[in-house]
A and B are shown apart, each in its own frame.
Chain A
C-alpha cells in the first residue's frame, strides 16, 4: 500500500471466521476462531466478542488447544510462526519460528506439531523444543508424507496421537509414529452404482481403533482393523445427498457428527449405525464441526461466515455471525436509520452490519421462501436494493433464472414499522417490467417518495405510493405512475437530483432529463463515444452539475444551466460514488492492473485527493459512511474524510477503507486502555458493579478523547477483591457491606452524572 499524506488503506472488519474449525475452551465458556490475522475469543453464552489475540502478521490458518495446559492455545499462520497464547488474558507466551516456507495448517498432539507447506502440500512433523525463551526456532523436522490433500480436514490424529490418518483422492493412509510406518488403503474411483468415492474428510475415534471417512457422494465409511494391511474392514452408511464436508467424534466417542451442504447436522450413534438425530436448517452449508472436551457443546461453522453453538441435547444456543461477503450482488448501502451497512447476507436475505462495532445486527428475510441447500439449484436472490432518504422505505428486487431462459423477478417494497423496529412487506409487484431491472433509485425529496426503476425492456417506470381511489382501502400500496422510454433504447442508469426536481435516465449513449412533476422530457445530453455506465448529480453547491462515466474511458461533467459539457477527462472509471454529505465525488479507476482513487468536486476538474494503487483488483462497490462525529482535520488532502468515511469492496470481496493518521492515533490510545477482564459473566451482581465501573470509566475518559471501542477500566480495589476472592473465604456480608457502599461514595466526587445514563 502506498502511503500518501497520512491516509492509508486498511482492512476493516468482517473477515472470515469460518476458515478453520472453531475450538471451544475446556470449561465451555469461550469459543476461539481465526479471523484474518487475529484469533478472536467469543463468549459461548452471550455470543459477544470478548477480545482478540493480535500478533500474527498474516492469515492465521490453524488453532488448537495446548494438550498440556488447557488455558493455552497454539496458533499458526502463513507468516511461518507458531505461537502459544494464554487466551483468557490474551498474552503471547511463546513464538516458534518454523523453517518451512509457509505454514498452512497445524494439527497438534502431545507437543508435536505437524505442518504442511503449500507448494506440494507436504506433511511435516515438527518437534517443538521445550525452552523458556520467548522466541525459539523449531529445527527438528521430519517429513511424514509428501503428498497430502490440500484440504486440512483430510488429515486427523488418532487415539491420542498414536497415529495420523490422511487421505488424498482415493487413498487413505495411516502413519504410525511408533513404528514410523505408513499403511495405505485405496478405493476404486467409481463402483457399480456410479458412486464417487473420493475422500473429503477424516475423523478418528478418540479411544477405539476406528477411522471415519466422508466421501464425495455423501457416504460415510467406518474403517476398522487398519493395523493390518490386508485384513482391514469397513462399513458404509449413507444419508447425505452431497459430499460430506466434515466429520467429528464426540470426546467420549459415543457419537459421530457429520455435516455437508444440506446444512443438517447429523448425529450418528457409534455402534448402532442406524440411529441418527438431525438438526436441520442451520444456515449455510456446514464446513467444520468441533466438540468441547466435556462433550457438552458442539460448534459448527458455516459457509455464510457463521458459527453456531449447539448444546449436546441438539438445541441451538448461540450464533456468532460475521459479515457475509460471498456473493454480493447488491450495492453497498447505508441504512439511514441505524447507519448500518446493508448488503446481501444469507441467501435471500439482506444483512445489516454495524461497521462501527464490527458486529452483525440482523438479517432481513426478503425472499421468504424455504432455501433448499442443494448444489446447482437456481434460487431467488436479492439483486437490487435501495433505501429512501429517511430510511422509511426499502425497495428490493429478487431474481431467479440467470441460467435458464425464463427470468423470474419480483419488486418488493418494505415499510419501516416503528413498533417492531424492522421492515415490513408492503407491496409485491410481480411483473414490474418484462425484462431484468437494471437500475433503481428513490427520489430524494422528504415529502413524497417515488421509486424509479429502469429495465432492459427499454422502459423506465415511476412508482408512487398512491391511495387508489377505487379500492377504498386505507393501506397505501405502491402503483405505477409513469412509464417512459426513449427511442426504444435500453436504459442503463437512473438518478435523481439532490432536490428531486430532475430525473436523469441514461439510455445507452444518451442522457435524458425529465421533470418528475409533469413527466415531461426536458432535454437530452449526448456525448457520443461509449455507453453511459454511471450517473450522478452533484450535491449542495455543485447541484447544477451532472456527472457521467462512459465505457469508453471518459468522465464527463455537464452543466445543467447551460446544458453544455463543462469538462471531461479520459479515465476508466469503474465506480463513481458521490458523498451525500459534501460536494465530493469519489471515482475508482482501473488501469494497468491496479485501481486508483480520485476524489474531486464537480465544479473543478482538478482532484482534491489522489491515491494511486489502492488495490490490485477492480472496485465495483463503494459507499460513504457518515461518521458519528466529524473529524476536524484541516489538512487539504484529508478534509474529504471529515464528515464521512469511504468503504469499498474489491473483486476478492475484501472490505477496505481509508483511515487517517489522527484516527489511528486515537484507536491506539483506546486499545492501550484495554484490560482483559471480561471473563466475568453478566449476572445481576455484575450489572450492579458495572454501573459503578461505568461511572469511573466516564471520569477517566475526560482526559482521553472518546474512543470507538468499549473501554474497560480497572475497578476499585474493593471490587476487585470482592470479585476475585472465592465466596467461601469471604467474610460475612454485613462486614463487607460498609466497605462496598463506601467504594461507591468515592466516585461521586467527580462531575455529577445521571446514574441511569449507563443503562440506556
Chain B
C-alpha cells in the first residue's frame, strides 16, 4: 500500500534581480530617517572618534548630529553666507569649513565661536580639509588657488595656482601629511606634494571633477565627474584602471564602506550605487531627490545621504538584537528537548528492535485532500496567514483541486465572506506570471457559478468590477509589449548580417574527416 503523496508546492524562481550576499548586506538597513535642513546638503562628514557624530553642511550652517539623534547636538551658525565643506580633524576635536565669501573658519567642536579665521581667498571656498598631521589646513577655492594654512598661527603657508578652473574636490592623504589630491572643473585631477610645492601627477578625467577619493591603501584614486566614475592606479603613475558609467546624470559624490572597501557613488539621478571589488554594481538605493553628498559611518552603521531639496536621509543598520526582541514576543512552542526525547537512545547489541512505522506528517490541507474534503481544503489554503505569506501554497492547492476535477465543487456554495476572500486573492495575484494561469480558471468558474446571484451583494460586485478593470489594463499592457517586441524584431532582423549561401555549402566538407574518425 503506497502512502498518500502530499500536494507538491512548486517553487518557481522569481524573475528579476538575483539575491546575492551583497544585496542581503545592503538591504539590511532600516527604512531611512528624513531630516529637513535649510538648504541643499553639500557635505556630510563623520567624526573619526567613537560616538561617530557627523557634521552636515547645509545653507549657512553646520549641524552636528549624534548617530541616533534626529535633533542636532550642536550647530555652528556664525556664517554670513553659505557654508561649504565642513570636515573633522583626525582627532575629531576641530572642524574646518569654507564659505561663499572666501573665509575659512576653524571651530572647536565644543565651542560656538570660530577659533581661527583664514583670510586670503578671493572667491568662494568649496572644499577644506585638515592635512593628516593635524596642524595644517588645505583649501581649494573658485579663485583657482589651492592654499595651505598653519593652524596655530593662522598664517598662509603656501598658495598653488595650477588649476585653470574652479576647484571643487579635495582629498588629503592619510599616510603622508604632505600629499593631497584636488579635482577641478578644468577636467583634471592633480596630486600635490607640499615638499616640492607643486603638482607631482596630473590625470585627465575628461569631465568637470565633482569628487575625489583615496582608497585606504592610497594606491587607488577615485574621481567622479560627468556621468563617469574613474579609478586611477597611483602606483602606476596615474594610469586609468576602470571607467564606470552606471549613472545617467552627473555623479556628485563617492565614498567607501569600511567593511570590504565597497565603493558607493551618489548622483543627481537620485541613485546610490554600490560596487563590488571588481566594480560591478551589486546594489542600488533609491532616493527622493538628486544626491549632492553622502557618507558612510565606520562599520557601515549609518549611511547618510544629502540631497538638493535639503533633506538628509539617514539609514541605520539592522542588528540581530532587534530581531531577537521581535521573535521573543511570539508564543513559544515546546522546547527542543521535547522533540529529541528518546530519539538518541542507542540500542545495545542483543536488544530486539521492534520498528514502529514512521507516521507520515501531513499538512492540514493535505489531510483534507486525503479524505476528499475539497471545500475544506480550499478554505484551509485560503487562511489569512497562508494566502498572504505563502501564496504559492494556496495556488498549489488550487492546481491540485483542478487536477482532481473538483475545483468547481470546492468553489461552489460559498457565502459573501468567503467569496470576497477568494476574489481578494485573485485581485492580488492574478498578474503574477507564476500564478495567473490557475487563477484565471478560478475566476472563470466563480463567474459561472455565481452569475445569477452576483447582484445581491454590492461588495462582491465591486470587487468583480475592479477585477475587470485591472484585467483590461493588463491586456492593454500585454498588447503594447507585443508591439514593442515586434518593433525590436524588425530592428534585429535588419541588423543581422546576411550570410552567403555559398559559404554554407562549403562547410560540410570540412566535417568529413571528423566523421570518418568516428
Contact = CB atoms under 8 A, between A and B. Distances in A.
Interface of A: 279-283, 316, 368-370, 372, 374, 377-380, 400, 406, 428, 430, 470-472, 497-499, 501-502, 513, 521-523, 543-544, 560-561, 563
A523 B515 contact: no
Contacts of B512: 544, 561
A523 B507 CA distance: 8
Nearest to B404: A372
Contact of A379 (B5, B6, B8, B403): B403
Interface string B377-405: 00000000000000000000000100111
Contact of B437 (A282, A406, A501, A563): A406
20 contacts: A279-B1, A281-B1, A281-B3, A282-B1, A369-B400, A370-B6, A370-B370, A379-B403, A400-B403, A406-B437, A428-B10, A470-B18, A521-B504, A522-B508, A523-B504, A523-B505, A560-B511, A561-B511, A563-B505, A563-B508
A513 B508 contact: yes
B465 interface: no
Interface residues of B, number: 31
B477 to A, nearest CB: 20
B514 A499 contact: yes
Given A377-B405, A501-B515, A543-B518, A280 B507 contact: no
A585 B403 CA distance: 42
Contacts of B1: 279-282, 316
B12 interface: yes
B25 interface: no
B515 A369 contact: no
Nearest to A406: B437
B366 to A, nearest CB: 9
A282 B505 CA distance: 60
Given A379-B403, A406-B437, A471 B5 contact: no
Contacts of B18: 470-471
B509 interface: yes
Contacts of A282: 1
Interface of B: 1-8, 10, 12, 18, 20, 369-370, 400, 403-405, 437, 504-505, 507-509, 511-512, 514-518
Given A470-B18, A501-B514, A560-B515, 7 more contacts: A369-B5, A369-B8, A369-B403, A370-B6, A380-B403, A522-B507, A543-B515
A502 B3 contact: no
A283 B18 CA distance: 43
A368 B508 contact: no
A348 to B, nearest CB: 10
B4 A370 contact: yes
B511 A281 contact: no
10 pairs of A and B residues whose beta carbons are closest in the complex: A499-B518, A370-B5, A561-B512, A281-B2, A543-B518, A470-B18, A544-B515, A316-B1, A523-B508, A522-B507
A206 to B, nearest CB: 27
B508 A501 contact: no
Contacts of A283: 2
Contact of A522 (B6, B400, B404, B504): B504
A544 B513 CA distance: 10
B518 A561 contact: no
Contacts of B6: 370
B10 A561 contact: no
Max chain A C-beta neighbours (<10 A), residue from B3, B6, B405: B405
A498 B18 CA distance: 39
A428 B515 CA distance: 35
Contacts of B504: 521-523
B518 A497 contact: yes
A244 to B, nearest CB: 19
A281 B370 CA distance: 11
A118 B504 CA distance: 66
Contacts of A521: 504
B405 to A, nearest CB: 5
Contacts of A374: 404-405
Given A281-B4, A370-B4, A522-B504, A561 B404 contact: no
A389 to B, nearest CB: 14
Nearest to A525: B508
Contacts of A472: 20
A471 B2 CA distance: 37
A218 to B, nearest CB: 15
B8 A561 contact: no
B8 A544 contact: no
A281 B5 CA distance: 10
A406 B402 CA distance: 12
B2 to A, nearest CB: 5
A262 to B, nearest CB: 11
Contacts of B405: 374, 377-378
A671 to B, nearest CB: 37
A746 to B, nearest CB: 38
Contact of A498 (B369, B505, B518): B518
Contacts of A428: 10
B28 to A, nearest CB: 19
Contacts of A400: 403
Which of B7, B512, B518 gathers the greatest number of chain A CB atoms within 10 Å? B518
Contacts of B518: 497-499, 501, 543
A540 B119 CA distance: 93
B404 A377 contact: yes
Given A522-B504, A523-B505, A561 B515 contact: yes
Contacts of A369: 5, 7-8, 400, 403
Contacts of A430: 10, 12
Contacts of A372: 403-404
Nearest to A502: B511
A523 B10 CA distance: 41
B446 to A, nearest CB: 17
Nearest to A470: B18
A428 B509 CA distance: 39
Given A374-B405, A501-B511, A561-B508, A368 B5 contact: yes
B373 to A, nearest CB: 14
B13 to A, nearest CB: 9
A523 to B, nearest CB: 5
A628 to B, nearest CB: 27
A558 to B, nearest CB: 11
A538 to B, nearest CB: 10
Contacts of B12: 430
Contacts of B508: 513, 522-523, 560-561, 563
Nearest to A281: B2
A372 B4 CA distance: 11
A239 B401 CA distance: 22
A523 B511 CA distance: 11
B515 A499 contact: yes
Nearest to A521: B504
Nearest to A500: B518
A205 B405 CA distance: 38
Nearest to B369: A370
A471 B14 CA distance: 13
A621 to B, nearest CB: 28
B487 to A, nearest CB: 19
A579 B507 CA distance: 29
Nearest to A471: B18
Contacts of A380: 403
A646 to B, nearest CB: 24
B371 to A, nearest CB: 10
A497 B516 CA distance: 12
Contacts of B20: 470, 472
Nearest to A472: B20
A377 B404 CA distance: 7
Contacts of A513: 508
Nearest to B517: A499
Nearest to A539: B518
A532 to B, nearest CB: 19
Contacts of B404: 372, 374, 377
A281 B400 CA distance: 18
A374 B404 CA distance: 9
